Amino acid sequence: MTDAHELRDLAAAFDCDLPVDRAELLLAYLDAMLEENRRVNLTAVRDRETAVVFHALDSLAVGSGTFEADPAHVLDIGTGNGFPGVAIACLFPEAKVLLMDRTLKKLKAIERALAAVGLDTGRITTTQMDAGEAPAHGHRGSFDLVSARAVGPPTAMGALAAPLLRSAGRLLCWLSAETEYDPSLSGGLRQENELRYELPGPEPRVRRLVSFAKERA
Burial profile 11-46: b = 16 or more Cβ within 10 angstroms, e = fewer: beebebebeeebbbbbbbbbbbbbebbeebebbebe
Q: Based on the number of CB atoms within 10 Å of its own CB, is 138 exposed (0-12), middle (13-18) or buried (19 or more)?
A: exposed
140 pLDDT more than 80: yes
Mean pLDDT of 18-30: 97
Strand arrangement, sheet containing 124-128: 124-128, 96-101, 73-77, 143-149, 165-176, 205-214, 189-199, 184-185
Which residues are within 8 A (CB) of 9 and not within 5 positions of it... i.e. 6 or more apart? none
Distances (CA, A) of 28 to 1, 50, 93, 122: 13, 15, 16, 18
Q: How does DSSP classify residue 56?
A: I
Write down the mean pLDDT value for the chain. Answer: 95
> What is the pLDDT confidence band of residue 217, given thresholds at 50, 70 and 90?
confident
Handedness of CA 87, 88, 89, 91 (dihedral sign): positive
The pLDDT tens digits of the residues spanning 43-57 come to 999 999 999 999 999
The answer to pTM > 0.75 is yes
- 35: three-class secondary structure by DSSP: helix
204 pLDDT more than 90: no
The pLDDT tens digits of the residues spanning 157-195 come to 999 999 999 999 999 999 999 999 999 999 999 999 999
Domains and CATH numbers, the chain: 4-214 (3.40.50.150)
Res 202: pLDDT? 83
